Amino acid sequence: MSELKHIVIIGNGIAGVTAARNIRKLSDHKITLISSESEYFFSRTALMYVYMGHQKLEHLKPYEDFFWTKNRIDLLKKHVEKVDISTKNLLFSDGQTLHYDTLIFATGSRYRWHDAVPKDTLGVQGLYSLQDLEKLEEISPKIKKAVIVGGGLIGVELAEMLHSRDIEVTILVRESGFWGNVLPQEEAKLVTKHIESRGAKILLNSEIERVTTKVLDSKNLSPNPSAIKSIITKKGEILDCDFLGLTIGVEPQKDLAAAAGIETNRGILVNDCLETSVKDIFAIGDCSELRNPTKGRKATEPIWYTGKMMGETVAESICQKSKKYNPGIFFNSAKFFDLEYQTYGDIQPILAENESSFYWENSQEEKCLRINYCTQDEAVIGFNVFGIRFRQVVCQQWIAEKRTLSYVIEHLEEANFDPEFFKNCQSEIVAEYNFKFPEKTIKLKKNSGFWRTIFG
Amino acid sequence: MIKFSYSLIFIGFFCLFSILGIGEFKLTDGILKKNIYSENHYAVISKLPSVQKMIGQNYSSKISFISDLQSAVNQHNSVLKEQKQWDKVIWTDYTFGVTNGSFTAPNLLYILGFVGLFFIILGVFLIISQEKKSPTGIKNNDIFKKSISSRGILGIILGCFLIIFYIVLYWFPEYLVNWVALVNPISKLLSGNPASQWFLYGLLYTVAIIVMGIRFIIKYRHSKYQQFRTGSVIFFQTTFAFLLPEILMRLNLPYQDLKNIFPLDYTFFFDYKIQEKINSGTFGIFMLGWGIFLFLVGTPLMTYFYGKRWYCSWICGCGGLAETVGDSFRQLSDKSLKSWKIERYTIYGVLVFAGIMTVFTLYSFFTGQSYLLGIPSYEIQKWYGFFIGSIFAGVVGTGFYPLMGNRVWCRFGCPLAAYMGIFQRFKSKFRITVNGGQCISCGNCSTYCEMGIDVRAYAQRGQDVVRASCVGCGVCSAVCPRGVLNLETGSIIVDKF
């Protein structure tokens, strides 16, 4: 093993923590993990459960506090003010400095502010950090009506959170269906219907034109000069509200790197091995932007799983030899109120030219399945599934092996990951297939759980 | 509506508690004769001057009746103890039987009891019907904000109440004779015998499992797995645990819960239990064989195929109470590594204790010697019954629901769970599988694991959960917002990849 280095990671989110853990697995380097947000790593995605009272903040910590000392990962709750790449030093806001041999940016992202809203308006915020949650918690008792702008995953989470406190919620969605820039029309419609059935209002094809605010009187103790009063949509609708949630997306936190002279674009630019323009400095997770993303993938993917995989890759790059980041077959999952969603492979909102789509839906039970495949050879390229759980390994295997649509439908049972006794939809899906393709009727390969338990 | 329902429940409990203060006590010679089953003791006690003074006297206070009775016997005993006439001391406690026999229940008692129970059940069902109007899905909102479910002041009060209830039930049942009288007609209907405190407890237990089980089934109406196992638990409690033993009694057969398996049923090999079964003919022998078969063959086999959940969260009475009545407290179990270490010491400690006790018991049964290595078997049985059977399983096991979660006994104490856990850990097809790399470490699975398993620790590194303690309740899989966890048995297709 090469000589021991001091590896400093800025950001203790999933990317930074995964990097730290894997560097420790592979080496004895000194590791320092810095965050100004929280002392310990917590699951950002679960902040909503704290707000709704499902969990306490302490439950969000995936590792017990002794884990870090046991694994010799030094935690530092400080704010990095400046990075000096020539002397390899970090300057903290308290004036102290720290020398590094290798630096990893895992600074994550922040929610995007809406241009139509004046900065510092009371009652306007997004949801990303622990501090955002605290701020939301603080003003929640005063909220009666809330508007959320942006129909995406954080938008629906915020809606569910506010709804749990009996706050009237209206979501403004730019597209003609919820999360319409990602989901095909049918799924977007299903999600829209589900969210509405849970009690949140959705305004489709709507965008903010401007907002009105009210000036806060001098007795007001908050630093904000004014508070949100209403929003006016581009169609001219006026929505009164005392809270405006901004969930129109997130943007990489690249300022620290940019100020240090590291090349940035939307995010911190990295090569295939996640190295920035400066030697010994890497960037992973939400804050990074790939110079050459793999075909069909975005240059920035602010997703938990991407951050995790990048953390694993960068650890190998640093401890062993340079490794190219390979995200593999895409997957993601989410939950819209009570509706579960999983996706594997490549499903775009609009079909590409050489692609076809098989779609089945049971709207009463709020379940649907989409399989996209190559028109020519019928090889499956992606799955969207709502209300049913599918096995990631099986779906990815099918995509990698270029299995045909009919093969996949025939063997759907292998992909099912629903709990025991759940109603099986496979036969309905097969019936749909046979209805659509009467010339090549197929039969479901049965796979009884009971016999598998006894003889399997 | 919710407030109204809670008021109903409150009034109901108030009625039930007020019962404890009504009714009169009148001792007669007949009562003494009937309840003091040792003739010698009857002869002595009935002749005591202070007992003679009690006969025919009307007591409106339970406390003074009990204290008069006890002081009479104690006085007699203390004289004998001073004279070191140990063999003449009356060690048997007849207080419950005599107090129970002397009690006359006024009609008001039955009215209050009926009204109280009716209000409680009505209140619970009104809450449930409200619940039913809400959309299906996971219902964990505000769990950590409510005092009762987050170890707040209400939780602590409830815990104290339950602890006191168990202490009174086990060691001072004479104070509960009013409630026993209330259920007396039901007992007579079922077994033909008058009710004891155990009949009262069994009935309350069963009603609680039924009512709260229905609540659970409605809460999880989107999950067939949860519904089926709760239905199963309700069925086994009402039939096997409650009704069947009563019917067996009516048929003059030994009282036995046929689904209660040794060593959870720690008295199974006690000599009087074995004797009782042998004496009652073919069916008794069958019961004996059935119990041994379940322990030696049935349990390992079922655990091999399905994991210990086949028993713990589908059949067991303790598990049944935990899953239904205790559901609101599942999030209070400790998930730390330290508690896992403690758990392994205590649960296998109890298993070893139960094993040693049974070796002593069987030795005494087969050899007729009451001592082994200079220790009397009877004493070991008594210690086990006191420390494990009463304090651990009852007072701590249930009393600590609102403080340490609903599976304290199952996790730290149950010897049967320990026994099955060994199979589950080393030789079973059951495990919780993890779906690829989809875990977002949110921690819902760990938080809602009643057994205190840190499920997330496995899920986030994509490792199947194989743990001795898992009772397979399936709640981790239900609360997972990404559909990452699943209870599985047998080979799955993935294994081929």
Q: Residue B132: inside a domain, yes or no?
A: no
The model's confidence at residue A219, banded by pLDDT at 50, 70 and 90, is low
Query: How many contiguous H segments (helices) and E segments (strands) does chain A have?
Result: 13, 26
Q: Residue B481: inside a domain, yes or no?
A: yes
Residue B370 has a pLDDT of 83
Sign, CA dihedral A85-A89-A91-A95, equals negative
A chain contacts of residue B474, beta-carbon cutoff 8 Å: 419
* C-beta atoms of A420 and B478 within 8 A: no
The Cα A412–Cα A401 span in angstroms is 15
Neighbours of A157 (CB within 10 A): 25
The Cα A244–Cα A223 span in angstroms is 18
User: pLDDT averaged over chain A?
Assistant: 94
B chain contacts of residue A59, beta-carbon cutoff 8 Å: 443, 446-447
Residue B132 has a pLDDT of 84
Neighbours of A24 (CB within 10 A): 19
Q: Which residues pair with A211 in a beta bridge?
A: A231
* C-beta atoms of B435 and A392 within 8 A: yes
* C-beta atoms of B436 and A391 within 8 A: yes
Residue A100 sits in the same domain as residue A117: no
Last residue of a domain, one of B57, B88, B103: B103
The Cα A201–Cα A151 span in angstroms is 12
Instruction: Give the length of chain B.
Output: 497
Here the ipTM equals 0.95
* Closest by CA position to A61, among listed B149, B339, B141, B456: B456
Residue B130 above 90 pLDDT?
no
* C-beta atoms of A333 and B438 within 8 A: yes
The Cα B354–Cα B347 span in angstroms is 11
Last residue of a domain, one of A248, A264, A281: A248
Question: What's the one-letter identity of residue A327?
Answer: P
Sign, CA dihedral B129-B134-B139-B140, equals negative
- Averaged pLDDT for residues A232-242: 95
The Cα B296–Cα B308 span in angstroms is 14
CB pairs under 8 A between A and B: 143
Residue A232 sits in the same domain as residue A266: no
Residue A448 has a pLDDT of 67
Q: Residue A407: inside a domain, yes or no?
A: yes
Q: B480 to chain A, minimum CA–CA distance in Å?
A: 10
* Residue B412 phi, psi (nearest 5): -100, -15
Instruction: Give the mutation candidate from A17, A55, A197 for the B interface (greatest B CB count, under 10 A).
Output: A55
Q: Which residue of A has its CA nearest to B301?
A: A454
- Asked if A230 contacts A240 with a C-beta cutoff of 8 angstroms, the reply is yes
Residue A298 sits in the same domain as residue A344: no
* C-beta atoms of B436 and A59 within 8 A: no
pLDDT in tens, A294-335: 988 999 999 999 999 999 999 999 998 889 999 999 999 999
The Cα A12–Cα B84 span in angstroms is 74
Give me the residue from B137, B305, B336 closest to A64, CB to CB. B336
The Cα A431–Cα A425 span in angstroms is 10
B252 dihedral zone (left: phi>0; alpha: psi -120 to 50; beta): left
Neighbours of B91 (CB within 10 A): 8
Quickly tell me which residue has 């399936």 as its tokens. B474
Structure tokens at A283: 């960037």
The model's confidence at residue B495, banded by pLDDT at 50, 70 and 90, is very low
Residue A361 sits in the same domain as residue A405: yes
Q: Which residues pair with A172 in a beta bridge?
A: A149, A203
Residue B372 has a pLDDT of 84
- Asked if A372 contacts A360 with a C-beta cutoff of 8 angstroms, the reply is no
Long-range contacts, A438-441 (Cβ 8 Å, 24+): A440/A406
- Averaged pLDDT for residues A258-268: 97
* C-beta atoms of B140 and A53 within 8 A: yes
Range of the domain at A304: 6-110+251-319
Provide the CB-side half-sphere exposure for B448 (13 A, CA).
26
Instruction: Give the mutation candidate from B334, B335, B492, B497 for the A interface (greatest A CB count, under 10 A).
Output: B492
Instruction: Give the length of chain A.
Output: 456
Residue A15 sits in the same domain as residue A53: yes
Residue A133 sits in the same domain as residue A236: yes
* C-beta atoms of B137 and A338 within 8 A: yes
Q: Residue B458: inside a domain, yes or no?
A: yes
- Averaged pLDDT for residues B108-123: 93
B chain contacts of residue A46, beta-carbon cutoff 8 Å: 440-444
Q: How is B218-267 classified by DSSP, letter by letter?
A: HHTTT-HHHHHHHHHHHHHIIIIIIIHHHHHHHTT-----TT--TTTSTT
A chain contacts of residue B337, beta-carbon cutoff 8 Å: 64
Element (H, E) at B183: helix B177-190
Give me the residue from A389, A392, A453 closest to B490, CB to CB. A453
Q: What percent of chain B has pLDDT over 70?
A: 99
Range of the domain at B36: 24-103
* C-beta atoms of A417 and B435 within 8 A: yes
Give me the residue from A389, A397, A420 closest to B487, CB to CB. A420
Q: Residue B456: inside a domain, yes or no?
A: yes
Give me the residue from B138, B144, B486 closest to A56, CB to CB. B144
- Asked if A417 contacts A342 with a C-beta cutoff of 8 angstroms, the reply is no
Residue A212 sits in the same domain as residue A271: no
Q: B370 to chain A, minimum CA–CA distance in Å?
A: 45
A chain contacts of residue B456, beta-carbon cutoff 8 Å: 62
The model's confidence at residue A120, banded by pLDDT at 50, 70 and 90, is confident
The Cα B92–Cα B111 span in angstroms is 35
Residue B497 has a pLDDT of 41
Residue A87 sits in the same domain as residue A129: no
Write the CATH number for A101: 3.50.50.60
Q: Residue A166: inside a domain, yes or no?
A: yes
- Averaged pLDDT for residues B397-401: 95
Q: Residue A436: inside a domain, yes or no?
A: yes
Give me the residue from A335, A393, A449 closest to B436, CB to CB. A393
Q: Residue A326: inside a domain, yes or no?
A: no
* Closest by CA position to A272, among listed A256, A289, A255: A289
A chain contacts of residue B135, beta-carbon cutoff 8 Å: 197-198, 337-338
A chain contacts of residue B228, beta-carbon cutoff 8 Å: 421
Q: Which residue of A has its CA nearest to B483?
A: A389
Q: A216 to chain B, minimum CA–CA distance in Å?
A: 32
- Averaged pLDDT for residues B101-124: 93
Write the CATH number for A336: 3.30.390.30
B chain contacts of residue A306, beta-carbon cutoff 8 Å: none
The model's confidence at residue B496, banded by pLDDT at 50, 70 and 90, is very low
DSSP state of B327: G
Q: How is A184-196 classified by DSSP, letter by letter?
A: -HHHHHHHHHHHH
Give me the residue from A331, A423, A449 closest to B436, CB to CB. A331
B chain contacts of residue A335, beta-carbon cutoff 8 Å: 481-482
Residue A225 has a pLDDT of 80
* Closest by CA position to A124, among listed A20, A15, A224: A224
B chain contacts of residue A43, beta-carbon cutoff 8 Å: 440-443
pLDDT in tens, A417-449: 999 999 989 999 999 999 999 988 888 887 666
Last residue of a domain, one of B103, B120, B142: B103
A chain contacts of residue B136, beta-carbon cutoff 8 Å: 338
Give me the residue from A55, A414, A454 closest to B447, CB to CB. A55
Q: Which residue of A has its CA nearest to B487?
A: A419
Residue A361 sits in the same domain as residue A297: no
Q: Residue B460: inside a domain, yes or no?
A: yes
Residue A340 sits in the same domain as residue A429: yes
Residue A157 sits in the same domain as residue A182: yes
Last residue of a domain, one of B70, B86, B103: B103
* C-beta atoms of B447 and A335 within 8 A: no
Residue A370 sits in the same domain as residue A439: yes
- Number of domains forming the structure of chain B: 2
Residue A252 has a pLDDT of 97
Peptide bond into A184 cis (omega under 30): no
SS3 for A151-171 is: CCHHHHHHHHHHHCCCCEEEE
pLDDT in tens, A140-198: 999 999 999 999 999 999 999 999 999 999 999 999 999 999 999 999 999 999 999 99
* C-beta atoms of A55 and B145 within 8 A: no
Q: B485 to chain A, minimum CA–CA distance in Å?
A: 8
pLDDT in tens, B65-98: 999 999 999 999 999 988 988 888 888 999 999 9
Q: Which residues pair with A379 in a beta bridge?
A: A404
- Averaged pLDDT for residues B390-401: 94
Q: Residue B246: inside a domain, yes or no?
A: no
Q: Residue B462: inside a domain, yes or no?
A: yes
* Angle (nearest 5°) at CA B134 between B129 and B138: 110
Q: A389 to chain B, minimum CA–CA distance in Å?
A: 6
The model's confidence at residue B290, banded by pLDDT at 50, 70 and 90, is very high
* C-beta atoms of B435 and A394 within 8 A: no
Give me the residue from B144, B441, B497 closest to A53, CB to CB. B144
Distances (CA, A) of B227 to B10, B16, B231, B325, B459: 28, 31, 6, 15, 25
Q: A421 to chain B, minimum CA–CA distance in Å?
A: 6
Write the CATH number for B455: 3.30.70.20
A chain contacts of residue B224, beta-carbon cutoff 8 Å: 419-423
Give me the residue from A53, A305, A423 closest to B141, CB to CB. A53
* C-beta atoms of A449 and B490 within 8 A: yes
* C-beta atoms of B493 and A164 within 8 A: no
The model's confidence at residue A450, banded by pLDDT at 50, 70 and 90, is confident
A chain contacts of residue B492, beta-carbon cutoff 8 Å: 452, 456
Give me the residue from A45, A59, A393 closest to B447, CB to CB. A59
- Asked if A19 contacts A106 with a C-beta cutoff of 8 angstroms, the reply is yes
- Asked if B492 contacts B328 with a C-beta cutoff of 8 angstroms, the reply is no
* C-beta atoms of B483 and A389 within 8 A: yes
Q: Residue B478: inside a domain, yes or no?
A: yes
pLDDT in tens, A46-75: 999 999 999 999 999 999 999 999 999 999
Q: A191 to chain B, minimum CA–CA distance in Å?
A: 15
* C-beta atoms of A59 and B140 within 8 A: no
- Number of domains forming the structure of chain A: 3
Residue B32 above 60 pLDDT?
yes
Q: A448 to chain B, minimum CA–CA distance in Å?
A: 11
pLDDT in tens, A83-101: 999 999 999 999 999 999 9
Distances (CA, A) of B190 to A146, B187, B194, B260: 59, 5, 10, 20
* Residue A233 phi, psi (nearest 5): -85, 170
